[in-house]
Structure 1
Amino acid sequence: MTAIRQIDVRHFRGVREAVWGPLPGVNAIIGSGDTGKSTLLDAIELTLAPRRNLTFSDADFWQLDVNQPIDIRVTIGELPDALLDFERYGIVHRGWDALVGLSDEPGADLEDVITVRLTVDQDLEPRWCLYSDRADADGVTREIPPAERKKLAPTRLGVYANHHLAWGNRSILNKLAEIPSGAGGALAEAARKARAEFGLAALDQVKDALDIVHEVAAKAGISGALEATALLDAHGISFSGGTIALHNKDGVPLRNLGVGSSRLLIAGLQAAASEASPFVLVDEVEHGLEPHRIIRLLHTLGSKEAAPKRQVFLTTHSAVVVRELSADQIWRAADDGSGQVRLFRTDGSVESQKTFRACAEAFLAPQVIVCEGPTEIGLLRGLDMHRDENNLPTLAAKGAALADGGGDSMIARACAFARLGYRTALLRDCDKPFTPKQLESLATAGVTQFHWDHGLSTEEQLCWTLPDDEIERLVEIAVEENGKDKVDGDLRNRSPALNSDAFCASLGISEDEREHLGAAAKKGGWFKNVTLGERVGREVLAPALDSCSGKMPVILQNLRDWVAA
């Protein structure tokens, strides 16, 4: 099956420059808004479009600079025999290898490919050609014949694609079964009958109007209108292939289906069409679909096929899509701020796949804080809630997402985000020191670390940080959420004389009591879920943050500064 090997885009809309080597099968692009995701799909469609009457405007140029021409090149491999004809196309044949990339000269160890080039300069006239450096230097031009061009044309599964539910030039139904040539006479006869039957049915409703027409015609001497009647206009009801459309059993046109249902049906029809385009473009694949139907659409597009039948390019902002796809099917588009768009992939490892499954929502944010576990996530969420209630900027408002590091998996997960080009931070406790190898892997990936005092878990750091009043409140929450018997039992395991009633702010809380409390909270798992961590962050830590001691408030402020940078 014909496949796109490389896409080069320059000075097109929001993309100053992008070079992308997509893979066979599904290529899903995620990323923040305005990073060129949809522009890449449009670039493919416009370059391979069979139509040559496309309209461009100044707004299609990077930053409206019409002095820098739009230049889009789509390199295609697994060529049909017609395009492998050396006599005609040898001058534009190029070479490609998955490891080496694109070479202007074909070679024995390289796949023969061609590059379709679209350029638009300030006259706004699009120009297409088959491109190679050699042909360009010699002033030689080649174009794809219309028949081959039609075979390469991408199919776009848009938000509104109901034209596929009727027979027409661009309909997928035409590829399943063309309207036979003899149907023209039947359509003409149907039009004649419709005009006549409408006239009989409409006479009563339009009689008064017709009387006026007859009177005016008589006065004006227009003999041809003296006996005018009301029939459907011959031009207005000129039936064609596009007039034949799919209807349900009650005669209701299927174009009345909801957006999601239409997309599912059309995607299925495209998959069933043996002559369907080798390329499918889908912007916002989740649009109009519930989660279970998003998954069905992805399967229809070939997301689980071992040998994909077509190459699919889609964009998404859906965590459902991120979870459902394989790690090696997902690309992240990122703009460096100058219009240079880069596309990143993970290594496709098992750990990367686990990260996509566990932290799908975080992949849809521009920067990520990987938290060691649910307690740390809850604390940060609680702090953000308190800040939001006090009209202060939150981590979420700055575009930072929280991801669950899964304890021992936190390094692998942080590195998975960093490899996709995300600004990535890791927030962890410090009761288990990292090895030099672990520290090196984080540094190599570019992950910024934030951690508590050496040797302390999050629960222990809280107990050393909070003032006496908030320690008392912390114990109250532990009792409310876990039960007095459990809390007292965990405390007695640390010190036989200790119980929850001992933590009274008015009597003062000793260092020994803080130490035992932190160890009991850690061992007993008092706050080991997001909801409990959230409550501690919102009700205990946030109100007392300015009066806390130790490293915790400093680290939290440094983390906020990193997000805001």
Structure 2
Amino acid sequence: MMLRRLRIEHFRGIKSAEWTINRRLIGLVGAGDSTKTTLLDAIGLVLNPNYSPQFTDADFFGLDLTKNVVIEAAISDLPDNLVKESQLGKDRSGIMPDGTLVHDPVDGAEECLVVRLTVTPELEPTWEVVRPESDDARPITAGQRRQLGFFRLGDLPDFHLRWARGSALSNLIDGGNGAASVILGAHREARAAVFNTQPNALHAAAATAQRAAGNFGAAKFGKLRPGLEPSSATSAHALVLHDGEVPLSSLGLGTRRLTSLSIQDQATEDGSIIAIDEVEHGLEPHRLAQALHHLKKRTSADGLQVIMTTHSPITVKSLSAGDFVVVHADGAGATTCYPVPDDLDTVQGTFRSAPEALLGRRVLVGEGATEVGFLRGLLRHWDSERIAADQAPSAAIGTVVVNGGGGTQSTQRAQIFRNLGYPTCMLIDNDDRSIDHSVKDAEAVGVEVCRWTSGSALEDEVVRALPAEGLQAVVDLAVEIRGAQSILATVGAKLGHSPLTGIVVDRWQAQTGIDAQKIRTAIAGAAKTKHNEWFKREDRGEELATVVIAHWAGLEETHLMKVIGQLRAFAYPTAPDPMESEPGEPAADD
């Protein structure tokens, strides 16, 4: 079986969603509260093999009880028994390669069943097989739904480590009844063993109870004695997997969950649809990677379909980019699923270099390490202001900083995230004309581009804009990084002057006879000297941001602060301009 299409109306956090599916292994990624788990729950309910799952008012979007919950799933690769004319063969529909449903499985369409679950405000569920372009509907029984092969892996891990009625471990026994006979025989032997024990404190207590009961006239007992309760023999819950003498139920969560998952996997039949919520829960990276490898192999070889949710960068790195679907919720009830295109050259590298971005809501792409550090420094400052003002920091908003990798690769990565539905902003230099065309391509798909003055990199813009004391702070920072002699030599070389003396910028003009503006240009050039850059690391870019923040008062009209204002407005969508408050003062209310 294979889920090919899912439509949801008015269910929990989803007012509406339509998802067309063409893959057998699917990792649902996206920010928290993007309704990933709700999608799995919806699939589980519409394909539910039970007769009466429980519904509550909370299952209705916005607790609005004036509308029905509707969940509709199109399933292909149907089992032969289910499509017999005596079963549901006359109710088959067709699904085109693009996910469009048609009334009949005509040429070019794959046959499918469209199963619809409707839940009324009276909390009454109805399962039906429906057909597009028709009002006809036919009930589908729990037994018929069971043939669709849906299985939720990883739920109730301890339950599936026991030979209990309905557990996956019991399903591994032919007929599923072997555990009951084993536990019954073991219990009878245990009862006999307790009866045959030598007199002990339990027997003395039983004799005391018999005498006391006689005094009260309770009954005339023959002989009270300790024994095991016979009714407990009907419960196979007592029969649990052991590792030697140790019950598996006492082991760690990761081991219990992974063992339970493996048992459930073995209990599924070929052609099943398997759902796993938070596949990484309780697992170390190496065990998670092995579990993912096995599941992917199963989908390729055994015709299974696996749909999982994840918040783990390890999962993103372990699977192929084309295995993922990005889920976005717009906050008003609309959920959108974006399959990741696997035909783009840079998708795989983008995901593995920045897996955390897939788990956020807004993506800030820094051209390189300096820009990434600079952005992080700004966000940390703004976050502290907002926390002091009882406002949401960037982490709560879901703004994630990504290293673009430099040049056109940065614009390509920005386009990928934007095409997957993420609001995306890119901070890049403006001193390389060869990337102008790719910058326009990024803007054309909706990427917000922040660039410095034409011909300038970040270092140029900072050195040009800062007041004298800020410029001195930049040079002092460079001295801490590279050492005084290196700074004096590289700046002197840019000025065409012998090595300068003294790390005091104001004195360099007197030493060289060169005007202040050219000295600033030389400082910026020295900061970018190839193989000897001052700030070409994320931590150094962050330190540079700290210097700028400490000295940006009075720079409101500069291009530097215009760009910084754009960055803040993107990171905090309703935030005021950064210059509305001085550094260290709380920002105005959003």
Settle same-fold status: TM greater than 0.5: yes
| SS of equivalent residue, structure 1 residue 350 | coil
Q: Is 466-475 or 67-76 further displaced after alignment?
A: 466-475
> How far off is 1:379 after superposition?
1.1
Are 1:261 and 2:269 counterparts? no
For residue 449 of structure 2, what is the amino acid of its counterpart?
Q
Distance 2:220 2:230 in 1: 17
- Asked if structure 1 preserves the Cα contact closer than 8 Å seen for 2:37 and 2:277, the reply is yes
Q: Structure 1 288/174 Cα, relative in aligned 2: closer, same or farther at 3 Å?
A: same
Q: Which residue of 2 aligns with 1:425?
A: 425
| SS of equivalent residue, structure 2 residue 364 | strand
Q: Which residue of 1 aligns with 2:370?
A: 375
Q: Is 12-21 or 506-515 further displaced after alignment?
A: 506-515
- Asked if structure 1 preserves the Cα contact closer than 8 Å seen for 2:13 and 2:61, the reply is yes
> How far off is 1:519 after superposition?
0.9
For residue 12 of structure 2, what is the amino acid of its counterpart?
R
Q: Show structure 1 runs of 5+ residues with no match.
A: none
Are 1:235 and 2:231 counterparts? yes
Counterparts in 2 of 1:247-396, with a 5 A limit?
247-249=242-244, 251-273=245-267, 275=269, 278-302=272-296, 306-307=300-301, 309-348=303-342, 349-388=344-383, 391=388, 395-396=394-395
Distance 1:505 1:490 in 2: 14
Distance 1:274 1:335 in 2: 32
- Asked if structure 1 preserves the Cα contact closer than 8 Å seen for 2:299 and 2:305, the reply is no
**Counterpart selection for 2:553 from 540, 546, 551:** 546
Give deviations 1:304-329, integer Å, cap 9, x for gaps: 96556411111111111122221111
| SS of equivalent residue, structure 2 residue 233 | coil
| SS of equivalent residue, structure 1 residue 112 | strand
- Asked if structure 1 preserves the Cα contact closer than 8 Å seen for 2:149 and 2:269, the reply is no
Q: Which residue of 2 aligns with 1:172?
A: 168
- Asked if structure 2 preserves the Cα contact closer than 8 Å seen for 1:10 and 1:70, the reply is yes
Q: Is 60-69 or 472-481 further displaced after alignment?
A: 472-481
Q: Show structure 2 runs of 5+ residues with no match.
A: 510-515, 574-590
Distance 1:238 1:41 in 2: 34
**Counterpart selection for 1:557 from 553, 565, 571:** 565
| SS of equivalent residue, structure 1 residue 49 | coil
Distance 2:504 2:13 in 1: 61
| SS of equivalent residue, structure 2 residue 456 | coil
Are 1:115 and 2:123 counterparts? no
Are 1:516 and 2:510 counterparts? no
Q: Which residue of 2 aligns with 1:34?
A: 33
Give deviations 1:61-111, integer Å, cap 9, x for gaps: 111112211111111001111233246534421111222522233212111
Q: CA RMSD in A?
A: 2.6
Are 1:438 and 2:454 counterparts? no
For residue 449 of structure 1, what is the amino acid of its counterpart?
V
**Counterpart selection for 1:530 from 500, 525, 538:** 538
Q: Which residue of 2 aligns with 1:213?
A: 209
Q: Structure 1 244/519 Cα, relative in aligned 2: closer, same or farther at 3 Å?
A: same
**Counterpart selection for 2:140 from 129, 138, 143:** 143
For residue 318 of structure 2, what is the amino acid of its counterpart?
E
Q: Is 300-309 or 441-450 further displaced after alignment?
A: 300-309
Q: Structure 1 543/180 Cα, relative in aligned 2: closer, same or farther at 3 Å?
A: closer
Distance 2:21 2:412 in 1: 25
Q: Structure 1 179/94 Cα, relative in aligned 2: closer, same or farther at 3 Å?
A: closer
For residue 533 of structure 1, what is the amino acid of its counterpart?
G
> How far off is 1:236 after superposition?
2.4
Give deviations 1:12-42, integer Å, cap 9, x for gaps: 1111111112233221111222221111101
Distance 1:346 1:65 in 2: 34
> How far off is 1:362 after superposition?
1.8
Q: Which residue of 2 aligns with 1:457?
A: 457
> How far off is 1:248 after superposition?
0.7
> How far off is 1:401 after superposition?
0.9
Give deviations 1:106-142, integer Å, cap 9, x for gaps: 21211110011111102212111212146x624x524
- Asked if structure 2 preserves the Cα contact closer than 8 Å seen for 1:159 and 1:259, the reply is no
- Asked if structure 2 preserves the Cα contact closer than 8 Å seen for 1:450 and 1:559, the reply is yes
Q: Structure 1 143/209 Cα, relative in aligned 2: closer, same or farther at 3 Å?
A: same
Distance 2:140 2:384 in 1: 63
Distance 1:308 1:542 in 2: 58
Q: Which residue of 2 aligns with 1:469?
A: 469
Between the two proteins, the alignment pairs up a number of residues equal to 558
- Asked if structure 2 preserves the Cα contact closer than 8 Å seen for 1:91 and 1:132, the reply is no
For residue 413 of structure 1, what is the amino acid of its counterpart?
R
Q: Is 312-321 or 264-273 further displaced after alignment?
A: 264-273
Distance 2:14 2:99 in 1: 25
Are 1:152 and 2:153 counterparts? no
Distance 1:180 1:100 in 2: 38
| SS of equivalent residue, structure 1 residue 193 | helix
| SS of equivalent residue, structure 1 residue 333 | strand
- Asked if structure 2 preserves the Cα contact closer than 8 Å seen for 1:368 and 1:423, the reply is yes
- Asked if structure 2 preserves the Cα contact closer than 8 Å seen for 1:405 and 1:414, the reply is yes
Distance 2:118 2:293 in 1: 36
Distance 2:73 2:107 in 1: 22
Distance 1:449 1:52 in 2: 54
| SS of equivalent residue, structure 1 residue 129 | strand
- Asked if structure 1 preserves the Cα contact closer than 8 Å seen for 2:161 and 2:241, the reply is yes
Give deviations 1:165-184, integer Å, cap 9, x for gaps: 22344333344333676775
| SS of equivalent residue, structure 1 residue 337 | coil
- Asked if structure 1 preserves the Cα contact closer than 8 Å seen for 2:365 and 2:410, the reply is yes
- Asked if structure 1 preserves the Cα contact closer than 8 Å seen for 2:366 and 2:402, the reply is yes
| SS of equivalent residue, structure 2 residue 10 | strand
- Asked if structure 1 preserves the Cα contact closer than 8 Å seen for 2:161 and 2:260, the reply is yes
Give deviations 1:156-206, integer Å, cap 9, x for gaps: 223532222223443333443336767755543321221232355596333
